[in-house]
Structure 1
Amino acid sequence: MEQMADEELCVLAASGNRMAEELLVTRYNRLVRTCARPFFLFGGDSEDLTQEGMVGLIKAVREYDASKEASFRTFAEICIRSRLYSVLRAAARDKHAPLNQSVPLDTPFFDSNSYTSGTNNLAQRNPEDDLIDREHTAALLSGVRKQLSEFEAKI
């Protein structure tokens, strides 16, 4: 299998041969990294882009059609770059920014401040810490109430 051409391996991969698919992914790993290198994904790292490029490569392996008279390498590069561009466009839309940048209004029960240093026993909690926590919570709620409209405050 190692000596087979890429186009032949694509035919085998399309028929369900996992080894042919894995061999093509291994051969074109460097191409994926080369295509992903010049891009930057805010909130991600280079490995995220490499993984997305790999998704494009796998799509190319599964959808390659030799009758279109293009080499597999050309088709793979187009699929990889298309996948990277679509991921970058989706990230630039900032569609999920309100969800990603929101701050919860209530503190979870098992917050790191709910225990004394090094102990997990609530019975050993310092009363002074409880008072400070209550004052802090009251100040937070007061600040939030000032930001709410009349309608929001009713709810």
Structure 2
Amino acid sequence: MSEPGKNIINDTILSSAQSGDNKQTEALIRQYRNVVEAIAAKYINSPLEYDDIIQEGMIGLLAAIKTFNNSKGAQFKTYAQTCINNSIQTALRKFNRKKDIPIGSVIEYAEEEIPEENGVISAEDYYIAGESVSMLANTLKENLSEYENEVLRLHIVGCNYSEIAKRLSKTPKSVDNALQRIKKKLSTVNLKTDKYN
């Protein structure tokens, strides 16, 4: 059985996804979903629901796709793991601030368990990954309606159009329209800045 995300990322697919090709972005999300799930499993004893952990991990994966720069020397999988982990940890810290639950030990355990394959990520890339996740999360909150956020959340955790429609008491066509709007908004998100390139 192959390891999660072991297939080497195709530079053409990644480049197309970074240029706004939604089909290629979805292909990468499908390919790396098991990486998100493997990292999310390390947080199974955290106060967050598993679906919420997966959602935060997927936001991290989207940030990785948007901001990865192969000229930095790190492999995409290593960078994606960092973004996914940072996204989940950010959500846990926010939850912790609201509930006053100590989660430092959960984060430390998860960090120890995540291997950094194919090279070590640089301090600069680690910082960029964290900043990118925060920027993407804020952009989603600012630009998506409450309905679109809920559709995206359910889509990210693996619900199909019919399941989303049923849960939200909407038609599959309404869900499809919402996802098209979300994809359009995501394609215009530019997380890269001169500071990071």
Tell me which interval the TM-score lies in, with the shorter structure as reference length.
0.5 to 0.7
Change (3 A) 1:51 1:11: same
Contact kept in structure 1, 2:36 and 2:58, CA below 8 Å: yes
Give the ranges of 4+ consecutive aligned residues of structure 1 lying more than 6 Å apart after TM superposition.
none
Which residue does 2:87 correspond to in 1?
83
Q: Which has the higher contact order (CA 8 A, sep 6+)?
A: 2
Residue 5 of structure 1: how far off its partner (Å): 3.4
- Count of residue pairs brought into register by the alignment: 94
Gaps of 5+ in 1: 97-155
Output aligned runs, 1:37-76, within 5 Å: 37-39=41-43, 40-42=45-47, 44-76=48-80
d(CA) in 2 for partners of 1:93, 1:10: 36
Map Cα deviations across residues 81-129 of structure 1 (whole Å, 9 max, x no partner).
Answer: 0001111111111269xxxxxxxxxxxxxxxxxxxxxxxxxxxxxxxxx
Q: TM-score, normalised by structure 2?
A: 0.44
Which residue does 1:112 correspond to in 2?
none
Whichever of the two has the greater Rg, that structure is: 1
Output aligned runs, 1:139-154, within 5 Å: none
d(CA) in 2 for partners of 1:41, 1:11: 35
Contact kept in structure 1, 2:9 and 2:76, CA below 8 Å: no
Gaps of 5+ in 2: 1-6, 101-197
Map Cα deviations across residues 45-85 of structure 1 (whole Å, 9 max, x no partner).
Answer: 21110011000001101111111111100000000000011
Q: CA RMSD in A?
A: 2.3
Q: TM-score, normalised by structure 1?
A: 0.55
